[in-house]
Structure 1
Amino acid sequence: MYRDVTAERFRHALSQFASGVTVITTGTVGTSTAAGCTVSAFSSLSLDPPLVLACIARGKYMHKQLAEAEHFAVNVLSDHQRDVAMTFARASEDRFAGVPVRAGHDGVPLLQGAVAHLECTRYAVHDGGDHDIVVGRVEQVEVTRGEPLVYAGGHFLDLGLESRQGADVPYEWLLSAPW
């Protein structure tokens, strides 16, 4: 069935796509330059060079911070960091209050407890309608144990991945898959 594309229908359709939850951070730990926001519009872009992208709404505080930052980090949240996702999704004077962080390369805030950190240098910024697409070249990668936080349909999902058995697909297989 075809229907006109309204903002409401478009948003509802896109909410059916499950995505990981990230917090993008920039600035320097412990200073007024530290900034961060929850972002689900995040994706890998290229293996060579290693590039990722995040889409940031224009007019938001984080938009200016990220579009002008030389360095930023992508913190892939773990399934036990729902409160962190909500903290960085809301407007606040200090989103970092009570959130354990450490300084990454160049002082960029890294959220402790995340399942992965990607430290990036800004590579490009592109027009994306009411958002800008910020592309980062990944300079440092850190992966820890844990399950990712996943969001779809307006809810965080419990995938129960810790209880699965025999369902692991080696990452090397994914790289060599024919698609």
Structure 2
Amino acid sequence: MTMPMLYPRPDVAEGLKAAMRHVASSVTVITAGRGAARRGITATAFTSVTMEPPTVLVCINRGGAAHEAITRAGHFCVNVLCEDATDVAASFAGMTGKTGADQFEGFEWVETASGAPAYAYAQAAISCSVAACHVAGSHSIFIGQVEEVAIDPDRTPLLHFNRGFHRLGARR
């Protein structure tokens, strides 16, 4: 038995979107900049690259304010959100009507050594300096050299699945 191809070319982009909606992933807010120039975006396109040296990557739309902030600042912070931070995720996903630095209002932020804002109640905050940037279609792949990490192992992650935010479930 084979899987039916519901989205053959030329509809493959729609098929990929549909497939990616069914990949559960951690919710992150990628932040950069300082003061009125700080910007952020809710994203799931984040992963570690290597431990020697410690690096991660994020994929950011080149047309967005977060991309410009990362490019100008030369740093970014990956804020891995906990289940109690759906309001933070919504703010940076553009679901509240706030834009720019206003998206940070109402939440507690700590400035990392690199200068990037870290959400004070994140499950993890990974502060990076930009080591490389590669263009891939509409996005840039920013490779970040990890400069500092903060974690709270007692927090449970917020997940994204099928266009919604979800809790992991009962912890054992």
Which of the five TM-score ranges fits, normalised by the shorter chain? 0.7 to 0.9
Report the AA paired with residue 67 of structure 2.
H
What is the aligned-residue identity percentage? 37
Partner of residue 16, structure 2: 10
Structure 1 segments, 4+ long, off by >3 Å, are none
Partner of residue 40, structure 2: 36
1:67 Cα deviation after fit:
2.7
Partner of residue 92, structure 1: 99
1:160 Cα deviation after fit:
1.4
CA distance in 1, matches of 2:163, 2:144: 27
1:57 Cα deviation after fit:
1.0
Give 1:125's match in structure 2, choosing from 101, 114, 133.
Answer: 133
Q: Deviation digits for residues 123-163 of structure 1, max 9, x if unmatched?
A: 1000111111011000101111201111111111222143x
Summarize the alignment of residues 86-165 of structure 1 with structure 2, pairs less than 5 Å apart: 86-90=90-94, 92-93=99-100, 94-144=102-152, 145-162=154-171, 164=172
1:36 Cα deviation after fit:
1.1
Partner of residue 62, structure 1: 66
CA distance in 2, matches of 1:67, 1:161: 40
1:107 Cα deviation after fit:
2.8
Gaps of 5+ in 1: 165-179
Q: How many pairs are equivalent?
A: 161
* Normalised TM-score (structure 2): 0.88
Aligned-pair Cα RMSD in Å: 1.4
Are the equivalent residues in 2 in contact too, given 1:147–1:161 (CA < 8 A)? no
CA distance in 1, matches of 2:104, 2:126: 18
SS of the residue aligned with 2:29?
strand
SS of the residue aligned with 1:99?
coil
Q: Are the structure 2 counterparts of residues 82 and 67 from structure 1 closer, same or farther at C-alpha, using a change threshold of 3 Å?
A: same
Partner of residue 85, structure 2: 81
1:78 Cα deviation after fit:
0.4
Are the equivalent residues in 2 in contact too, given 1:58–1:131 (CA < 8 A)? yes
Report the AA paired with residue 137 of structure 1.
Q
